[in-house]
Amino acid sequence: MSVGPARGAEGTSTGKPVGKSVDAVIVDDAGTIVAKRTLTDRNARTCVPLARAVGAWASLVLDAEQLRAKDDDGSVPTAPPSGPESSPGTSTLHLSSSSRPTRDTASPSESTESATHTPRAFEVGTTVYLRNGVMASGAVSGISPFIAVEFANAWILRPSLAVGRSTQASPTVINQVAGRADICRRVPGNYIERRGIEADLCAGLEGGVVTTQTGPSARGANAGRLGVGPSATLRGELGWGVALEVRGLLGANLLLSPLLPDDGQPPLLFAAAEIGVSVRLP
C-alpha cells in the first residue's frame, strides 16, 4: 500500500490553515478501481491523522469485499467507479493477488443454515388417553408416557407406551399394555420459534396385549393387538420449554382375535384421543 502526499487547503485571511484532505483509491493488480473516497480533516496540521483514517477505511473496504466475494461467483465483474484512476494528492492502495478476497467454499445457503441452526429437539411428556376399538365393545382409558427426538431437520421419532383399563363397570376388568412408534413431520406455525403452536403429522405402528382380570390377582384370557395408522399432534408452547399437547390417532387392527371365547372380534378400525404435557429438554 502506497500513500501519496496529502493535499493541504489554502489558508484564511488570518493565516491559519483550514485543514488537509486526501483522495484515497484502492485498485487491484489489473488496475481496476475497487473503491475511492476523499477524506478531509479541517483541524489537521500534519498528514498523520489522515494516514490513519485512510488505513482504517481501507480495512473496512477489504472486509466488505471479502463478504461480497462469498455472495458473488465472480462471473459478473464489479463496475469500477467513474473518475480518474489517480491524480495529484491521491493515495493509491494496491491489492496483491495474495491479499485479494477469495471465494469461500461454502455456499450462501449453507452459511445461512449454519448461522440459524438450532439444537435438535428432545422432549419428554405424558398424556391421558381414551381409546375404542381395543375390544368388541367398550373403551379403554389410561396414561401414555412418550419421548420425542428430532433425528433430522423437522423430522421427529416419537416412541410411546400406553397402560390402561376398560371404562365399563363390570366384575371383569380388562387391562391394556401397548407400545407405539411414530415418525412425524413437524410443521411450525407462523410464530416465533418455540413461542406458539406446532403440528406433528405422524404415521406409526403399534403392538400390545389386552388381558382380563377377575380379581385382585387372578388373570384370565389375553389377546394380542397389532395396528397401524396415522396420528396428529398440536403442541402449544406455554413457556420455559413446557407445552400442552392434544393428539388424535386413527388406525386399523391387524390382529382381530377375540379376547373372550363368548366375545366378538374387535372392530377393524380404532381411534383414540389424548391430552397431556411435554417438556423440551436443552
The CATH number of whichever domain residue 197 belongs to comes to 2.40.160.20
How deeply is 6 buried, as exposed, middle or buried, from its count of CB atoms within 10 A (0-12, 13-18, 19+)? buried
In angstroms, the CA 194 to CA 240 distance is 9
Q: Are residues 81 and 156 in the same domain?
A: no
Question: Does residue 62 sit in helix, strand or coil?
Answer: helix
- Note down pLDDT in tens along the chain; length 282 residues: 333 444 444 444 444 555 677 788 887 777 788 788 887 777 766 777 777 887 887 888 887 877 777 666 555 455 444 444 444 444 444 444 444 444 444 444 444 444 444 678 899 999 999 999 988 888 999 999 999 999 998 999 999 999 999 988 777 788 999 999 999 999 987 666 556 889 999 999 999 999 987 766 656 788 999 999 999 999 998 888 899 999 999 999 999 888 877 778 899 999 999 999 999 998
Q: What is residue 118's DSSP assignment?
A: -
Which domain range does residue 52 map to? 7-113
C-alpha cell read off for 36: 475511492
Q: Are residues 100 and 142 in the same domain?
A: no
Beta bridge partners of 149: 122, 157
Q: Is residue 253 part of a domain?
A: yes
277-158-128 Cα angle (round to 5) = 35
Q: How many domains does the chain have?
A: 2
What is the model's pTM? 0.57
Q: Are residues 134 and 62 in the same domain?
A: no
Q: Is residue 1 part of a domain?
A: no
